[in-house]
């Protein structure tokens, strides 16, 4: 099996109200140095070894997991995972 980790973030310039809320809460709770806080999504999954992993992950992200208008994604693949 292959372990896939997908990171989805808002594109630069897209407003991030969640990130702003987290930053304000941290600052109000004694962490005034926190700045430029952004919130994203993290998805972890396993795929079979025979899968064309890069192509499959890109199709998943483009079709369902990420909004290409507002979000961008990156991913890592760890091979040889025992299930």
pLDDT at 82: 72
For residue 83, tell me if it sits in a domain.
Answer: no
For residue 63, tell me if it sits in a domain.
Answer: yes
Q: What's the whole-model pTM score? A: 0.86
For residue 11, tell me if it sits in a domain.
Answer: yes
Residue range 18-57, pLDDT digits in tens: 999 999 999 999 999 999 999 999 999 999 988 799 999 9
Q: Which helix (H) or strand (E) holds 55?
A: helix 53-60
Residue 38's domain is classified under what CATH number? 3.30.1280.10
For residue 59, tell me if it sits in a domain.
Answer: yes
For residue 55, tell me if it sits in a domain.
Answer: yes
Please count the structural domains in the chain.
1
Average pLDDT, the chain: 95
Q: What is the DSSP letter of 44?
A: E
| Domain extent for 36 | 2-78
SS3 82: coil
For residue 58, tell me if it sits in a domain.
Answer: yes
79: confidence class by pLDDT, cuts 50, 70, 90: confident
């Amino acid at each position: 099996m292959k372990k896939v980790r997908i990171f989805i973030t808002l594109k630069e310039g897209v407003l991030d109200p969640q990130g702003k809320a987290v930053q304000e809460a941290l600052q109000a709770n004694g962490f005034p140095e926190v700045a430029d806080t952004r919130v994203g999504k993290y998805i972890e999954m396993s795929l079979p070894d025979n899968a064309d992993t890069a192509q499959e992950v890109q199709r998943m992200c483009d079709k369902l997991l990420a909004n290409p208008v507002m979000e961008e994604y990156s991913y890592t693949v760890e091979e040889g995972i025992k299930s």
